[in-house]
Amino acid sequence: MQPGNDSDDDDDAGPDASGEFRVPAALRGGAALPERAEVVIIGAGVVGLSIAYHLAKRGMTDVVVVDRGYLAEGASGRNGGGVRQQWSTEINIRLMQESVALCRRFAVELGVNVWFRQGGYLFLARSAKEIARLEKNIALQNRCGVSTRMLSPQEAGEVVPEIDLTGIVGAAYNPTDGILFPWPFLWGYARQAIALGVKVLTHTPVRALTAQKPGFTVETDRGSIQARRVINACGSWSPSIAKMLGVELPTWPIRHEICSSEPLKPFLRPMVSELSSGLYCSQSMRGEIVGGVTVPGHGSTHAMGSTLEFLATYSRRLVKLMPRLGDVKILRQWAGPYDCSPDGNPILGEPPGVRDFYLACGFVGHGFMMAPIVGKLYGDWLTGGERHEIFDRYTLGRFTDGSAAHHEKEDFNIG
């Protein structure tokens, strides 16, 4: 999934002479570690960098982002790039409407082409139970202004003629959902945050985090920073950071595997997914088929190795759904961590009893698509603007006060 470069600027993300993607020059150097900062963001994934950018855009530039690895090392660089508005709760539908709008403006606002294209999401149902769930969700999405519609098997076949309709009993299709390329999306936020004054420090692991009165001491391999506020945006590694302050997060990592094929002549416009198996696939701008499938039973792990079990399961499901892909070669296979929460929704805001420490984790594979709007809302709130309801609804305290009722993940099991 590697689109070509359309710029002659040496600082732009793009392939070098060998065709391999290079990190923009602005992100390759390491800034000096400051002694103090208004905000330290731990985690330079797309969520942390989106928050940093939006803080700086609103004038708060005394921000430091630290990460133990390199940019795009974690989940933000290991996903399929899907951005959808088909959800089962009104708050998530509304959030993703705004996130899609931000993605549409990304290239103009941040000056980086992320190859965002709105080819839609097509969810395929193989049972009456799945149809009922889709119909319920479509009614809610339509009330929110999302143009999802229920399709018959024949209509689904008109959207993607290559699908074998055997066993398909219906589908949900929203043409304004989309896909973008993850790496320049991440780099775009990082580069513009840096341009506005944010310091982004890679290869800077946090070894200790201590609460002071006021603020925090953030101890890293490169020294310590005194921070007035700290944001934990480490994805599936967030529990280890929270525990430094005595905060227990009920989240856990699950390995999610994905792969990419040789390039084919473009034929697949939407992201296609089977609800029953968790199979999903899309076609990149260069023609690769990029997809994955749910493979249960591996437990909680940060092990990111690839398995033959995944490749065999994915291949069987994909070829059953689209027989024409039976002879396609797989070129690359990798894995990334889903950051799972008990109710399938993110954990945001301040944990009970710890002021000025903010959480941005537990997205269950949806952090990439939610990052634009979550970053904007954090930027608004922490610079004196409106505090959005998500910071109360998705607080850590919901797991002890009984307010975590709806399990979003039961309705759509793909990222």
Return d(Cα 191, Cα 171) in angstroms, integer. Answer: 40
Q: What pLDDT sits at residue 28?
A: 58
Q: What pLDDT sits at residue 13?
A: 46
Domain assignment present for residue 96? The answer is no
Domain assignment present for residue 46? The answer is yes
CB atoms within 10 A of CB 161: 10
Return d(Cα 176, Cα 84) in angstroms, integer. Answer: 8
Name the residue with higher pLDDT: 7 or 22: 22
195 and 156 fall within a common domain = no
Q: What is the CA radius of gyration of the chain?
A: 21
234 and 261 fall within a common domain = no
User: pLDDT grade, residue 32 (50/70/90)?
Assistant: confident
Taking a C-beta distance cutoff of 8 angstroms, is the pair 368, 76 a contact? yes
| Interval 44-94: pLDDT, tens | 999 999 999 999 999 999 999 999 999 989 999 999 999 999 999 999 999
Return d(Cα 309, Cα 189) in angstroms, integer. Answer: 35
Return d(Cα 346, Cα 137) in angstroms, integer. Answer: 20
Domain assignment present for residue 25? The answer is yes
Name the domain count of the chain. 2
150 and 173 fall within a common domain = yes
21 and 164 fall within a common domain = no
SS (H, E, C) 128-189: HHHHHHHHHHHHHHHHCCCCCEEECHHHHHHHCCCCCCCCCCEEEEECCCEECCHHHHHHHH
Closest CA to 318 of 292, 299, 341: 292
Average pLDDT, the chain: 90
Cis status, amide bond into 24, omega within 30 of 0:
no
Domain assignment present for residue 95? The answer is no
Q: What pLDDT sits at residue 304?
A: 83
Q: What pLDDT sits at residue 21?
A: 47
Domain containing 195 equals 14-78+182-251+343-410
Return d(Cα 328, Cα 341) in angstroms, integer. Answer: 36
The model's pTM:
0.91
Q: At what angle do helices 90-110 and 128-143 cross, to 10 degrees?
A: 60
Domain boundary among 275, 303, 338: 338
Domain assignment present for residue 397? The answer is yes
SS3 372: helix
Domain boundary among 310, 338, 366: 338
Q: What is the mean pLDDT of residues 352-378?
A: 96
Domain assignment present for residue 85? The answer is no
Domain boundary among 296, 322, 338: 338
What is the token pair recorded at 187? 């780099």
User: pLDDT grade, residue 16 (50/70/90)?
Assistant: very low
CB atoms within 10 A of CB 83: 26
User: pLDDT grade, residue 299 (50/70/90)?
Assistant: confident
Taking a C-beta distance cutoff of 8 angstroms, is the pair 75, 235 a contact? yes
Taking a C-beta distance cutoff of 8 angstroms, is the pair 205, 196 a contact? no
pLDDT exceeds 70 at position 242: yes
Buried b (16+ CB within 10 A) or exposed e, 112-148: bbbbbebbbbbbbbbeeebbebbeebbeebeebebeb
